[in-house]
Amino acid sequence: MLAYIVRRLLIAVPTILLLIVASFFLMHFAPGGPFTSERPLPPAVLANIEARYGLDQPLWKQLWDYLYNIVVHFDFGPSFKFKDRDVNDIIAQGFPISLTYGSLSFLVATTVGVSLGIAAAIKHNSWIDYLAVGLGIAAQALPNFIMGPILILTFTLWLGWLPGGGWNGGQWPYLIMPVIALATSYMGSIARITRSSMLEVLNSNFIRTARAKGLPTRTVIWRHALKPTLLPVVSYLGPVFVYVLTGSVFVDIYFSTGGLGQAYVGSALSRDYAVLLGVTILYGVLTVLVNLLTDLAYAWFDPKIRY
């Protein structure tokens, strides 16, 4: 197992490197640059700015300097747009926010989704099943950019219960709507996957055996059916986990949370190269790590899988 983990981490190094190089060139080939503006800068002014950020160097040199600074100084460079902050500052400010509402959404989506799915499968074709399936489909049909405005209209404008946005250090009234908005559609998907997976497992031979030897339903479900049921759910949860952790641009836009999602999209639009690359690398590393965790989790859920 340990050898497997080490091997996976070693493979991750060239993967990330490839990601950096590809993103770097794609980014530079996109039309426009960080200093393209409505008022084109006079050439002398532009030359000074480019010299300051090293953008006057050949691309390969820029890429080399960039990698060198990361490896040697763990410095991801300056932001071209925000003059008093560098990439490290921007990530340090936005990532904890995304991490907080993201993990909470993940927790909510998983707990509620899995519970709904299991309830629906156990009470197959009963009103509980129909209700759960109905809820799941409705939730899935409500992506966060629909949920955002609906929640704000309902809880801020009509009921006046919750603040319409902001973060305020992550106090709970500010967390509720972002978490619900982000969790809803995932919850729906998780419920559906769990339900169909559980139905399949409940029809399999080893469950029939367990029932035949007289085990109570609860034990059958918890001890025997749950783990194999969760296997397909886990493979869905891996990418979802990365997605919610890195924040959602819609949640950031609708709730002014100040998370990394907005910074990421904003940096792409403003061609803030260093911020864009820095966040891409962060997402890349997270994806690699979570994929590894997912694979390790498989082994726990299904003893047949061995590394």
281-284: which pairs have CB atoms within 8 A and are 24 or more residues apart?
Answer: 281/16, 281/19, 281/20, 281/70, 281/76, 282/91, 282/95, 282/246, 283/242, 283/246, 284/15, 284/16, 284/19, 284/20
- 182 near another protein (CB under 8 A): no
- 84 near another protein (CB under 8 A): yes
Taking the complex as a whole, how short is the minimal distance between the CB of residue 132 and another protein, in angstroms? 31
Number of separate helices (H) and strands (E) present in the chain: 13, 0
Among 23, 88, 235, 256, binds another protein (CB under 8 A): 256
Q: Tell me if 295 sits within 8 A of 33, measured CB to CB.
A: no
CA–CA gap between residue 102 and residue 99 (Å, rounded)? 5
Q: Tell which residue, 87, 74, 29, 78, has the closest CA to residue 49.
A: 78
| Complex with another protein: residue 240 or 253, whichever CB lies closer | 253
- 142 near another protein (CB under 8 A): no
| Complex with another protein: residue 21 or 269, whichever CB lies closer | 269
Question: In one letter, which amino acid is 148?
Answer: G
- 150 near another protein (CB under 8 A): no
Taking the complex as a whole, how short is the minimal distance between the CB of residue 259 and another protein, in angstroms? 8
- 95 near another protein (CB under 8 A): no
**What are the backbone angles phi and psi of residue 44, rounded to the nearest 5°?**
-65, -40
Size of the site for another protein (CB under 8 A): 51
Q: What is the dihedral of CA 127, 128, 132, 138, to 10 degrees?
A: 30
| Complex with another protein: residue 197 or 267, whichever CB lies closer | 267
Region binding another protein by CB under 8 A among candidate stretches 6-14, 85-93, 201-209, 222-230: 85-93
Q: Tell me if 132 sits within 8 A of 116, measured CB to CB.
A: yes
- 173 near another protein (CB under 8 A): no
- 153 near another protein (CB under 8 A): yes
| Complex with another protein: residue 14 or 43, whichever CB lies closer | 43
- 31 near another protein (CB under 8 A): yes
Residue that is written with structure tokens 């902001």 in the block: 166
- 170 near another protein (CB under 8 A): no
Taking the complex as a whole, how short is the minimal distance between the CB of residue 268 and another protein, in angstroms? 9
Give the CB-side neighbour count of residue 4, counting CA atoms within 13 A.
9
CA–CA gap between residue 77 and residue 55 (Å, rounded)? 12
Residue that is written with structure tokens 């590894």 in the block: 292
Among 253, 274, 275, 282, binds another protein (CB under 8 A): 253
Taking the complex as a whole, how short is the minimal distance between the CB of residue 40 and another protein, in angstroms? 5
- 258 near another protein (CB under 8 A): yes
Q: Can you give the binding site for another protein, defined by CB under 8 A?
A: 30-33, 35-42, 44-45, 48-49, 51-52, 81-85, 90, 93-94, 148-149, 152-153, 156-157, 160, 163-167, 252-254, 256-259, 262-263, 266, 269-271
